[in-house]
Amino acid sequence: MIAAKVIDSIWSTRKADSLIGMKFMMVEVLGGIDAGRIIIAADTISAGIGERVLVCTGSSARKMLDREDIPIDAVIVGIIDEDCKF
């Protein structure tokens, strides 16, 4: 997984039918040489802008959703505790 910060929400009206109702957040990778990488992740746990999150990518991201047939390759799987230092 990747530690990242939620920086914005992304809106897409014209999209795949299977994505309707899904919320997308823009996150920025935190720490290390990948710091500053931007990923668009689906969010099902109501992460807020500014929160630090764990993002799972690839085929494993689909395991977070109820359906296997959905074109999603990144999803927020957890919110890092505020008092967790790194």
Q: Can you give the three-state secondary structure of 27-84, one letter per residue?
A: EEECCHHHCCCEEEEEECCCCCCCCEEEEEEHHHHHHHCCCCCCCCCEEEEEECCCCC
What is the token pair recorded at 73? 């390759």
Smaller CB distance to a second copy: residue 11 or 50?
11
Q: Is 49 in the site for a second copy (CB under 8 A)?
A: no
Site string for a second copy, 9-48 (x = CB under 8 A): -xxxxxxx-xx----x-x-xxxxxxxxxxxxxxx--x---
Binding residues for a second copy (CB under 8 A): 1-3, 7-8, 10-16, 18-19, 24, 26, 28-42, 45, 54, 56-64, 68-75, 77-81, 83-86
